Amino acid sequence: MKVAWITCPKCHERFYVELLMLKETHPLTGTKPFCRCPFCLAEFKAKDAERVEE
């Protein structure tokens, strides 16, 4: 499964997401790329992450 490890810019915890969530607009709904930190619930885009490891 292709995932990316993300470091949250707010609480600095690491978690992972499907790559699609970071890079592409949702093909059916037009949802813009974003993710949500499971630790502090901050929502952010890949460019705002402290670190992205693919």
Partner 1 sequence: MAKDLRHFLETYEQDHPEDVVTIEKPISLKHEIGILVDKLDKERKFPLLRIKNAILCNGKPSEYEVIMNEIGSRGKLAYAMGSNWEMVSQDWRRLALENKQDPVVISREEAPVKKEILKGDDVDLHRYPAYQPYLMLSHPYISLAPMITYHPEAGIDNMGIHRGEIQSKNRIAFLFSPDNHNSMNFWKSEQELHQNMKCAVVAGLHPNVLMASQTKMGYPESHFEACGGLLGEPLRLVPSETLGDDFMVPADAEIVFEGEIKAMKRTAEGPYSEYTRHIGAQRWCPYMEVSCITQRQDPIWSNYAIGRNHAFQGLAREFRVYDIVKRVVPQVTRVYLLPHAGGSDGLGFCFIQIKKTAEGQARTAIHSALTSNYSVKHVIVVDDDVDIYDERQVFWAVATRAQPDKDWIIQTDVMSSIVDPSIDNHWGSKAGIDATRPAPPEPFLVPTMFPEEDMKRIKLNDYVPQDQLEKIPDAFRKVDVEE
Which parts of this chain interact with partner 1 (CB under 8 A)? 1-3, 15-18, 20-21, 26, 28-31, 34-39, 41, 43
Shortest spacing between CB 10 and partner 1, in angstroms: 13
Shortest spacing between CB 42 and partner 1, in angstroms: 11
Shortest spacing between CB 29 and partner 1, in angstroms: 5
CA 11/CA 49 separation, integer angstroms: 11
